[in-house]
Amino acid sequence: MRDAWFFLKLFKPYSAWLLAGVALSLLTSLAAIILLTLSGWFISASAIAGLVAIDGNALAFNFMLPAAQIRALAITRTLGRYAERLVTHEATFRVLAHIRSWFFQHTIPLLPGRLALIRSGDLLSRMTSDIDALDALYLRLVAPITVAIIGGVVVTAFLATYAPVISITNGVILLVAGLLIPWVFNQLGNEGAERITVLMANYKIRQVDTFQGFTDLVANQAYDRFSAFLSQFSDRMIHTQRQNNQLTAISSALTYLLSQVSLLLALVFAGFLFTENKLTGPEVALVVFCVLATFELVTPLPQAIQMLAKLQKSAQRIRQIVELEPSIKEPQQAVLLPKQFDLHLSDISFRYSQQQDWVLKHINLSILQGTKVAIVGASGSGKTTLLHLLMRYYDPDLGEVKLAQQSLKSYATEQLMTCFGVLSQRSQLFAATIKENLLIAKPSATTVELDAAINAAGLKKFVSSLPDGIDTWVGESGVKVSGGEARRIALARLYLKDAPILILDEPTEGLDADTEREVFNALSDFAQHKTIVMLTHRVVGLALMDNVYTMENGVLSQL
273-310 confidence digits (pLDDT tens): 989 888 888 889 999 999 999 988 888 887 777 777 77
491: nearest Cα among 444, 433, 434, 415: 434
536: nearest Cα among 502, 506, 493, 507: 506
Q: 14-322 and 343-558: same fold?
A: no
The conformation of residue 161, written as its DSSP 8-state character, comes to T
- 416, 499 contact by CB (below 8 A): no
Pairwise CA distance, residues 282 & 279, whole Å:
8
Pairwise CA distance, residues 521 & 429, whole Å:
22
Q: Are strands 547-552 and 555-558 parallel, antiparallel or unpaired?
A: antiparallel
pLDDT of residue 360: 92
Please give the CATH topology (third level) of the domain spanning 343-558. Answer: Rossmann fold (3.40.50)
Largest interatomic CA distance in the chain: 122
Q: Are strands 398-403 and 372-376 parallel, antiparallel or unpaired?
A: unpaired
Domain coordinates of the chain in residue numbers? 14-322, 343-558
Of residues 305 and 262, the one with the higher pLDDT is: 262
Question: Can you tell me the mean pLDDT for 545-559?
Answer: 88
Pairwise CA distance, residues 135 & 96, whole Å:
7
- 405, 344 contact by CB (below 8 A): yes
455-477 confidence digits (pLDDT tens): 888 888 888 888 888 999 988 77
pLDDT at 398 over 80: yes
Maximum mean pLDDT: which of 64-73, 226-235, 288-297, 378-387: 288-297
Q: Which CATH superfamily is domain 14-322 in?
A: ABC transporter type 1, transmembrane domain (1.20.1560.10)
Of residues 524 and 33, the one with the higher pLDDT is: 33
474-514 confidence digits (pLDDT tens): 887 778 888 778 888 888 898 898 899 998 888 777 667 77
pLDDT at 153 over 90: yes
pLDDT at 409 over 80: yes
Buried b (16+ CB within 10 A) or exposed e, 141-167: bbbbbbbbebbbebbbebbeebbeebb
